[in-house]
Structure 1
Amino acid sequence: MKLKLMILKNNKITGESNQNDSWEKISNKLKEEYLELQEAIKEGDRPHISEEAFDVQQMIIRIMALLEKENLDLEQLGKRHNRKLVKRGWTHSEIIRIFWDK
């Protein structure tokens, strides 16, 4: 399986842009998308759940883009996260590799 997800640049309709993103804007949008996902789960509508899950995933990408813009080492932070999960007793069944094409 190969998924292609975009790092969004700007929205001509809403005026949102990665150039003027802030943690407050991201937090508000993430909350909105999370609530929509929760509603879709309650409905049990699988296509709607998928749509909203991808919206939440898109917000995670937006967060990663802002962290990268702030010069954080995402690769190192990902390794740190994986170590944390292992220390908490998690094992994995598969690996998802993310390639950031610039």
Structure 2
Amino acid sequence: MALNPFPDPTSFALDVPGGVTVQADGKVSLLRVIVSLKDGRVSVDYAVREEQKTAAGMARALRFDGLNGGTQFVCNGKVVEARGGVVPLSEE
């Protein structure tokens, strides 16, 4: 699990035991990422301030490398499709 508990934009990258890597395509605000290799599940919770939604340099997606096929991705409580290991970040 990795967590950014602050609303201030910051860079984000994560190396998970087992060879999985996670990289944001920009800066993130409030973020929690849980990678459960045993359960084949990735959970992402993400929130931004209103003015950050359209700010330049803010992340729009997370890229996951090294996961097995069939991994379930959940973003903000909803199952999402991760094409090419890319999970879109959205509050919707």
The answer to whether TM tops 0.5 is no
Which one has the bigger helix percentage? 1
Structure number with bigger Rg: 1
TM-score scaled by length of structure 2: 0.25
Task: Give the TM-score normalised by the residue count of structure 1.
Answer: 0.24
More RCO (CA 8 Å, sep 6+): 2
